[in-house]
Structure 1
């Protein structure tokens, strides 16, 4: 009986005349109604007094700046020797997403490095799992980074003017040796961390129910739940990371401490972080391990950080009942965007904390891996594709992303500067976008007019583009002019996020 009731509550609506019950409360009953630059940095409003104190302590550790060993402040040393950040907050800017760097050393992104074998990525023998762009005094960092942006050929076949560019990475001043030609480089901007406690509280069965490895329902979308090891070696469903590489927040936090900052913990136990045997200079430096603790970050600190992350609330959605928002929602649903971006769940009654239990949430993700096409694929130095599968990211709070960080990027590598660009990069098998490109090449002039309207007012094209995807037709000049004169809404409202 309970399962039937839950299925009814979480089933997709076909009524777009009004907002659904509790639709504005993205994170359930404890959702906060905050806006502005700190929209992602608030705890759920239904925390107890003791839990609020733990939240503040966890926040302090999340913002803490670590230093190299040895130091008189032994509780804060152990950084590196090679590293990409000195604090969690350095990458997760105001708990939001990062961006591609303008400088030679990324500050809110990491460059993954490795060699693929049988679809599995193995650490590079010289540089480990990621390029470390910083080092403690007395040691060379691994490299500098240069990024060039190249127009997408896929779009050139579609439009006379291309608005989409993809990043190409070149490493200079490699200090520890050259990379093999089959080495894969993949930029990963830091994700926003709101609502992650709720994602951890989704039932395994609800994730597996969406799995469709061989597209048996013939909707053009296949999805795979990734099975990974937790910190104890148990097989679990991956939920975190752009490829669902970790199953829970404790493991994800431990991996980040070790690989991003070079800080050992009970998950990532190497006090030298991502240093490899080929980097012998690394091992001449002191670690932050002392007689009191086995690791540089003990489990007490880890648990406080995990609690902080678990307690971050997605902001309340705006304008869910407005006519244009409901129309955008209708197009989103009927265009089958919900095949991957599952709107809602009810969290488990066995969640770790009371404020996470049995909540109706609206994350817009299935947490599955999907083939996103060649354009978004990882490639090796020779340009050969090494991976095309990415986890569906949650969409809650999307309209606030630029308010929190004006330089925030979208997609796993931050290449998309806007929500629209992120949509246009979707080019997996049988996608609605692919249908549009394959069937409307003779309408380039009209499509360019739509793009020029978009360049003047982003929201106008966003709505209109989804109109094209859904109705599979090109509007005439009169429609374009009428639409241009009618709508004065923000892009986040048109996308109903």
Structure 2
């Protein structure tokens, strides 16, 4: 009788441990699978707050229209833009694919533009802007426009290919993108313009990342590599428009935004051409007179109320639960992940800060697999374009949670900042710089070890 009781107790404890360990987002974690796996509200969000989530979702998902319009809550689109709705880039709240040959527009991808800061005035502007935009086309290329206005130009991407071999002879093909811009409607770009493609990232768990303490991020930073492990993650200090001060950057491919509120407002301004209290003017330069004279939807086309709803929505998109965590191949894959020292940058777990105004996000044990720090990823991934303290070879560590759901949500497995990697293994092999040693360890894996590593990453 006692033996049966102990067996039952062991089974109960094992089940409890498994149930807890699947919750990448703590109490916010969703059990939703399939195409809506990234679109669910935090599971611990109280019922009345789910209405705020739904309202924010409507402004995130539904198209905006040009002004003037009878729908004055959603007018003011453009004059130049990349899409007419947030969901246009973050399809089903997921990851963009980028531009492929034959695509008319770079729908789920945008192109950042900047020039070197050569004057004292430009150097000073870097403190608040992070980069200096092209004199004619600004900081972002808009390849769409409202009726009567010319878009700025069209993005072209060509690929060259090369092969990388593992120690056991297995080869993988990598593709290197080359960016260019055609059909420029406002004259030539600056001769030293720098182009950087950025694919829309998944929206899950962003509020939890925002609630990781600054001290936790500082504890993981080692900009001078004082422990001599070859990993020198650093914080990107960026300008907070609301606070009017420098703060830790967390969001964007180079951690160029400090808060979700500012990230969202910047996307409204750059991607949809919508002004707000954070970004007061359309993204039209002095050389784009028609753009500047076009009708607009009022002083703040995105009202403070809408900004608040969209912030709440983006903060509370749930991370889907892990799957197959007790699979022996997954368990072995995690050990290989740690053996290769991938977890030096893709830090597994945190406990979020106490946050009385966002109870669902408060004091949650989460496993995002990121340090939110900048790392030199080598020349292979370099865009040669600085952003605040990030140089042209540095990128923020991407969170890995929810990775295994990408195919069923977005229909593809493209990864990295410009979508060049067509699957997880390609993304790993693109790692260089601080991640070179880790990559070399992975290149030494045999087929069964590769499959175990991929099984683990797809379990996240």
Q: Kindly tell me: are residues 415 and 211 of structure 1, through their superposed partners in 2, closer, same or farther at Cα, counting changes over 3 Å? A: same
Give me the whole-angstrom Cα distance separating, in 1, the residues matched to 2:268 and 2:173. 37
Q: 1:111-163, CA deviations, whole angstroms, 9 ceiling, x for partnerless residues?
A: 1111133895311100001110001111111111221111248x499989660
- Matching of residue 105 in structure 1 with residue 105 in structure 2: yes
Tell me, yes or no, if the aligned pair for 1:19 and 1:320 is still in contact at 8 Å. no
- Residue 433 of structure 2 aligns to a residue whose secondary structure is coil
Q: 1:6-26, CA deviations, whole angstroms, 9 ceiling, x for partnerless residues?
A: xxxxxxxxxxxx978832100
The counterpart of 2:157, out of the listed 147, 151, 155, is: 147
Tell me, yes or no, if the aligned pair for 2:373 and 2:396 is still in contact at 8 Å. yes
- Aligned residue pairs total 427
Residue 56 of structure 1: CA displacement? Answer: 0.7
The counterpart of 2:228, out of the listed 210, 218, 231, is: 218
- Residue 348 of structure 1 aligns to a residue whose secondary structure is coil
Give me the whole-angstrom Cα distance separating, in 1, the residues matched to 2:269 and 2:398. 24
Residue 367 of structure 1: CA displacement? Answer: 0.4
Give me the whole-angstrom Cα distance separating, in 1, the residues matched to 2:251 and 2:457. 28
Q: Kindly tell me: are residues 217 and 488 of structure 1, through their superposed partners in 2, closer, same or farther at Cα, counting changes over 3 Å? A: closer
Give me the whole-angstrom Cα distance separating, in 2, the residues matched to 1:351 and 1:427. 41
- Matching of residue 369 in structure 1 with residue 374 in structure 2: yes
- Structure 2: tracts of 5 or more residues without a match: 1-15, 118-122
Matches of residues 49-64 of structure 1 in structure 2 within 5 Å?
49-64=47-62
- Matching of residue 286 in structure 1 with residue 299 in structure 2: no
Give me the whole-angstrom Cα distance separating, in 2, the residues matched to 1:89 and 1:276. 26
- Matching of residue 194 in structure 1 with residue 192 in structure 2: no
Q: 1:35-90, CA deviations, whole angstroms, 9 ceiling, x for partnerless residues?
A: 10100000111111210111111111111211111112222210110000100111
Q: Kindly tell me: are residues 59 and 331 of structure 1, through their superposed partners in 2, closer, same or farther at Cα, counting changes over 3 Å? A: same
Residue 235 of structure 1: CA displacement? Answer: 2.1
The counterpart of 2:257, out of the listed 238, 246, 269, is: 246
- Matching of residue 76 in structure 1 with residue 65 in structure 2: no
2:248 maps to 237
2:8 maps to none
1:256 maps to 267
Tell me, yes or no, if the aligned pair for 2:113 and 2:138 is still in contact at 8 Å. yes
Tell me, yes or no, if the aligned pair for 2:330 and 2:453 is still in contact at 8 Å. no
Give me the whole-angstrom Cα distance separating, in 1, the residues matched to 2:215 and 2:350. 11
Give me the whole-angstrom Cα distance separating, in 2, the residues matched to 1:104 and 1:369. 33
Q: Kindly tell me: are residues 198 and 162 of structure 1, through their superposed partners in 2, closer, same or farther at Cα, counting changes over 3 Å? A: closer
1:269 maps to 280
Give me the whole-angstrom Cα distance separating, in 1, the residues matched to 2:417 and 2:27. 30
Q: Kindly tell me: are residues 488 and 376 of structure 1, through their superposed partners in 2, closer, same or farther at Cα, counting changes over 3 Å? A: closer
- Residue 116 of structure 1 aligns to a residue whose secondary structure is coil
Give me the whole-angstrom Cα distance separating, in 2, the residues matched to 1:494 and 1:256. 29
Give me the whole-angstrom Cα distance separating, in 2, the residues matched to 1:167 and 1:203. 36
Give me the whole-angstrom Cα distance separating, in 1, the residues matched to 2:158 and 2:225. 36
Q: 1:305-357, CA deviations, whole angstroms, 9 ceiling, x for partnerless residues?
A: 11011111100000112211111001111211111001000000136411111
Matches of residues 422-437 of structure 1 in structure 2 within 5 Å?
422-429=427-434, 431-432=436-437, 435=440
Q: Kindly tell me: are residues 228 and 394 of structure 1, through their superposed partners in 2, closer, same or farther at Cα, counting changes over 3 Å? A: same
Q: 1:224-245, CA deviations, whole angstroms, 9 ceiling, x for partnerless residues?
A: 1111122321221101011111
2:412 maps to 407
- Matching of residue 350 in structure 1 with residue 370 in structure 2: no
Give me the whole-angstrom Cα distance separating, in 1, the residues matched to 2:73 and 2:265. 17
Tell me, yes or no, if the aligned pair for 2:110 and 2:141 is still in contact at 8 Å. yes
Tell me, yes or no, if the aligned pair for 1:116 and 1:386 is still in contact at 8 Å. no
Tell me, yes or no, if the aligned pair for 2:75 and 2:297 is still in contact at 8 Å. yes
The counterpart of 1:184, out of the listed 185, 191, 194, is: 194
- Residue 21 of structure 2 aligns to a residue whose secondary structure is coil
- Matching of residue 26 in structure 1 with residue 37 in structure 2: no
Give me the whole-angstrom Cα distance separating, in 2, the residues matched to 1:264 and 1:247. 19
Give me the whole-angstrom Cα distance separating, in 1, the residues matched to 2:25 and 2:146. 40
Q: Kindly tell me: are residues 28 and 434 of structure 1, through their superposed partners in 2, closer, same or farther at Cα, counting changes over 3 Å? A: closer
Q: Kindly tell me: are residues 363 and 431 of structure 1, through their superposed partners in 2, closer, same or farther at Cα, counting changes over 3 Å? A: same
Tell me, yes or no, if the aligned pair for 1:329 and 1:495 is still in contact at 8 Å. no
1:446 maps to none
Give me the whole-angstrom Cα distance separating, in 2, the residues matched to 1:488 and 1:244. 31
Matches of residues 318-467 of structure 1 in structure 2 within 5 Å?
318-350=323-355, 352-379=357-384, 387-429=392-434, 431-432=436-437, 435=440, 465=442
- Residue 417 of structure 2 aligns to a residue whose secondary structure is coil
Tell me, yes or no, if the aligned pair for 2:96 and 2:109 is still in contact at 8 Å. yes
Q: 1:189-228, CA deviations, whole angstroms, 9 ceiling, x for partnerless residues?
A: 0010000000000000000001100111111111111111
